[in-house]
């Protein structure tokens, strides 16, 4: 428990920030219920694990490269709007990944908006109502603020591959969507305009496909992004993935974050009998699995920090031997507006997966793009379309918009993911230690102090100003803890370094996301362009 002196310092220290928050951050109107969009479930034929539509035509309005979460959802969305869509995916069998398994409530709302909410059904998905945070034997529960939403709204966790297959089936059920297995080898360019793609079919035949608009969303390992953006990929850490069977989480239907040394450990349910564990290992190299170093590391370094309720299941999962690893990538969106092409999903923008925000960002981007494309009857004027779609890159980062009813979450979730990961990692620096402890204690206060950050994490209140206010409120709270009851020169120095460290964490991330795009979008020339006019004929 935080004593009365510290609580007093909180109220005094963050009063100004709270005032600014109330003044400038308008609480989102989330009232009422969320009505699910109408959807029709139809049976599709599956051949060798592939979902195929009945569309035999070769002409397309849009080519989509990749049928992961972003590609499959986008194919269904554009197909439902009447576009002829050709999707080319390298492997249409069910994916098996250790990430992309937790969809935040904000992402689930986007799923409803796109008419895809039934894709989390019949896959043994689990409802998630918040997080539990563990540190040094203490824990606190952080609930999503779902009171003003329909009872069905919550987070969802599941096997990533099952979720993707459901969306592929949904997309392939539309007669104007063609889902094909093939490997895209290059974009077809003519006078600076992308005209389509060259690809190899499942049988190895070289083919070309043409469309007025090609959307590349072939994932984090994209081999096409260099043609459309300036990638600056960082790998801050790797995830080591395990599955705990028949274990019980300390808090049912919650994600669990352990602030361990050297970096966080995550637990969350992915089915009614399975719990996913992700151990974050800083750096690009992990202990070898084949020679037993990984098992030894997990048992000697990680296991003692695991909550007691999960310890036996954790050891059993290690002994079972199904240990997998995946590098965690971070890449700000730095696109080259290119006529005839657009980047989306992890091919375009990545953030540390600690906060589970990747799918929420992708689905939010699809809503923005859908609304931008809706008034366009003809996509063939590539230069004009390119200038018009430049606004997509700005609108996706905006916390609120005067154009329509959009609440894109990209910049907020990207910034939160990067900042939270750095705060949650252990550090020998005393100022960073104080920041980490202050974050845990600040969230443990509950009420306004936990609801605001959890609203950001969940994608329910994706406002950049709210993020900045809470981040520095944590820093000021940490300084207040240091200075009470009696400040000393050493504690004042640590407090100054704490503020400096907090600034050094968040400001570079905001700079990479774009200060103007996040906070002053109306000053960006491509903030909004009127749809290209089409003469009636």
The string of pLDDT tens digits covering residues 147-177 is 999 999 999 999 999 999 999 999 999 999 9
Pairwise pLDDT comparison (377 vs 277), residue with the higher score:
277
* Residue-wise pLDDT tens digits, 195-245: 999 999 999 999 999 999 999 999 998 989 988 988 889 999 999 999 999
Give the mean model confidence (pLDDT) for residues 435-447: 96
DSSP 8-state code for residue 98: S
Inter-CA distances, 496 with 173, 183, 387, 499, Å: 59, 53, 46, 5
pLDDT of residue 398: 67
pLDDT digits (tens, 9 = 90+) for 260-288: 999 999 999 999 999 999 999 999 999 99
Total Cβ atoms within 10 A of residue 424 = 22
The alpha carbon dihedral of 80, 81, 82, 86 has a sign of: negative
Query: What's residue 318's pLDDT?
Result: 97
CA 60 to chain CA mean position, Å: 29
Please state, as a whole number, how many other Cβ atoms lie within 10 Å of the Cβ of residue 118.
Answer: 15
Evaluate if residue 397 carries a pLDDT over 80.
no
Question: What does the block give as tokens for 199?
Answer: 């690809």
CA distance 350 to 332: 6
Determine how β-strand 155-157 pairs with β-strand 126-128: antiparallel
The model's pLDDT over 75-111, given as tens digits with 9 standing for 90+, comes to 999 999 999 999 999 999 999 999 999 999 999 999 9
**Which of 309-313, 434-438, 531-535 bottoms out in mean pLDDT, i.e. has the lowest?**
531-535
pLDDT at 4 over 80: no
Say how far apart CA 104 and CA 359 lie, in whole Å. 8
Residue 246 pLDDT class (50, 70, 90 cuts): confident
| Own/partner long-range contacts of 54-57 (Cβ < 8 Å, ≥24 apart) | 54/175, 55/84, 55/175, 55/176, 55/177, 55/178, 57/84, 57/178
Looking at per-residue pLDDT, the higher value among 442 and 403 belongs to 442
Burial 264-298 (b: 16+ CB within 10 A, else e): bbbbbbbbeebbbbbbbbeeeebbeeeeeebbebb
- The CA-based angle 73-75-76, given to 5 degrees, is 65
DSSP 205-257: -EEEEE-SEEEE---TT-SSGGGTB----EEEEEEEEEEEES---SSTT-EEE
Residue 423 CA from chain centroid, whole number: 18
For residues 358-378, one letter each, b for 16 or more C-beta atoms within 10 angstroms of the residue's C-beta and e for the rest, the string is bbbbbbbbbbbbbbbbeebee
8-23 pLDDT, tens digit per residue, is 444 434 434 443 344 3
Between CA 110 and CA 36 the distance in angstroms is 10
The pLDDT of residue 391: 85
**Contact predicate 369/238, CB 8 Å:** no
Report the percentage of the chain scoring pLDDT > 70.
86
Predicted confidence at residue 53, as pLDDT, reads 37
Give me the DSSP letters along 50-73.
EEE-S------SEEEE--SHHHHH
Query: Which of 328, 327, 351, 333 is closest to 459 using CA atoms?
Result: 351
* pLDDT single digits (tens) 26-54: 333 333 333 333 333 333 333 333 343 33
CA–CA gap between residue 109 and residue 96 (Å, rounded): 25
Give the end-to-end CA distance of the chain in Å, rounded to a whole number: 72
Q: How far is CA 123 from the centre of its chain?
A: 21
pLDDT digits (tens, 9 = 90+) for 169-186: 999 999 999 999 999 999
How far apart (Å, rounded) are the C-alpha atoms in residues 360 and 353? 11
Q: Which of 357, 387, 350 is nearest to 372 (CA)?
A: 387
Which uninterrupted H or E stretch holds 9? helix 4-24
Instruction: Indicate the SS3 state at residue 194.
Output: strand
**Mean pLDDT of all residues in the chain?**
86
Q: Rounded to two decimals, what is the model's pTM?
A: 0.86
Contact assessment for residue 281 and residue 275, using Cβ atoms and an 8 Å cutoff:
no
> So what's the pLDDT on residue 58?
54
Q: Which pLDDT value is given to residue 535?
A: 54
Rg over alpha carbons for the chain, rounded to the nearest Å, is: 24
Residue ranges of alpha helices (H) inside 374-447 are 382-395, 410-424, 430-444
What are 459-517's pLDDT values in tens digits?
998 888 899 999 999 999 999 999 988 899 999 999 999 999 999 999 999 998 888 87
**Residue 252, token pair as written in the block:** 């049912």
Q: What gap in Å lies between CA 28 and CA 235, rounded to an integer?
A: 34
CB-based contacts of 394-398 (< 8 A; 24+ apart in sequence): 394/517, 394/521, 394/524, 394/526, 394/527, 395/368, 395/521, 395/527, 395/528, 396/333, 396/364, 396/365, 396/368, 397/513, 397/514, 397/517, 397/518, 397/521, 398/517, 398/518, 398/521
Q: How far is CA 36 from CA 1, 290, 337, 472, in A?
A: 42, 47, 34, 37
Nearest CA-CA partner of 470 in 438, 431, 497: 438
């Amino acid at each position: 428990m935080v004593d009365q002196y510290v609580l007093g310092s909180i109220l005094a220290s963050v009063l100004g920030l709270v005032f600014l928050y109330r003044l400038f951050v308008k609480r989102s109107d989330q009232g009422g219920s969320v009505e699910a969009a109408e959807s029709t479930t139809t049976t599709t034929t599956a051949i060798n694990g592939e979902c195929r539509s009945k569309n035999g035509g070769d002409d397309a309005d849009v080519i989509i490269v990749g049928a992961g979460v972003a590609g499959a959802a986008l194919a269904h969305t554009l197909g439902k709007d009447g576009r002829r869509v050709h999707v080319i995916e390298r492997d249409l069998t069910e994916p098996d990944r250790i990430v992309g398994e937790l969809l935040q409530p904000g992402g689930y709302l986007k799923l409803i908006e796109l008419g895809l909410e039934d894709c989390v059904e019949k896959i043994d998905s689990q409802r998630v109502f918040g997080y539990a945070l563990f540190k040094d034997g203490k824990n606190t529960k952080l609930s999503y603020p779902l009171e003003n939403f329909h009872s069905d709204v919550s987070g969802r966790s599941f096997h990533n591959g099952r979720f993707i297959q459901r969306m592929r089936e949904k997309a392939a059920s539309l007669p104007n969507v063609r889902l094909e297995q093939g490997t895209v080898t290059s974009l077809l360019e003519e006078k600076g305009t992308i005209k389509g793609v060259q690809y190899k079919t499942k049988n190895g035949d070289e083919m070309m496909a043409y469309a007025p608009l090609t959307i590349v969303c072939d994932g984090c390992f994209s081999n096409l992004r260099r043609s459309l953006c300036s990638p600056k990929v960082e790998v801050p850490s790797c995830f080591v993935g395990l599955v705990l069977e028949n274990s019980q989480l300390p808090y049912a239907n919650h994600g669990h974050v352990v602030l361990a040394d050297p970096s966080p450990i995550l637990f969350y349910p992915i089915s009614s009998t399975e719990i996913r564990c992700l151990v974050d290992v800083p750096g690009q190299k992990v202990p070898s699995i084949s020679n037993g170093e990984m098992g030894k590391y997990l048992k000697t370094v990680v296991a003692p920090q695991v909550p007691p309720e999960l310890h036996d299941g954790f050891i059993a999962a290690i002994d079972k031997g199904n240990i997998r690893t995946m590098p965690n990538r971070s890449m700000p969106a730095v696109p080259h507006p290119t006529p005839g092409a657009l980047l989306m999903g992890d091919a375009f923008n990545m953030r540390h997966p600690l906060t589970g925000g990747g799918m929420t960002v992708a689905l939010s981007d699809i809503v923005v793009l859908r609304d931008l494309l809706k008034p366009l009857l003809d996509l063939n004027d590539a230069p004009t379309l390119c200038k018009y779609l430049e606004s997509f890159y700005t609108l996706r980062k905006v916390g609120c918009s005067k154009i329509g009813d959009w609440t894109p979450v990209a910049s907020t979730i990207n910034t939160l993911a990067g900042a939270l990961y750095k705060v949650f990692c252990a550090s020998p620096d005393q100022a960073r230690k104080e920041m980490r402890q202050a974050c845990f204690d600040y969230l443990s206060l509950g009420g306004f102090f936990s609801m605001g950050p959890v609203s950001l994490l969940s994608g329910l209140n994706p406002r950049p100003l709210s993020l900045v206010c809470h981040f520095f409120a944590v820093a000021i709270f940490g300084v207040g803890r240091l200075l009470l009851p009696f400040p000393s020169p050493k504690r004042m120095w640590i407090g100054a370094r704490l503020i400096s460290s907090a600034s050094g964490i968040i400001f570079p991330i905001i700079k990479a996301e774009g200060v103007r795009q996040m906070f002053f979008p109306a000053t960006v020339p491509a903030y909004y362009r009127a749809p290209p006019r089409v003469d009636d004929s």
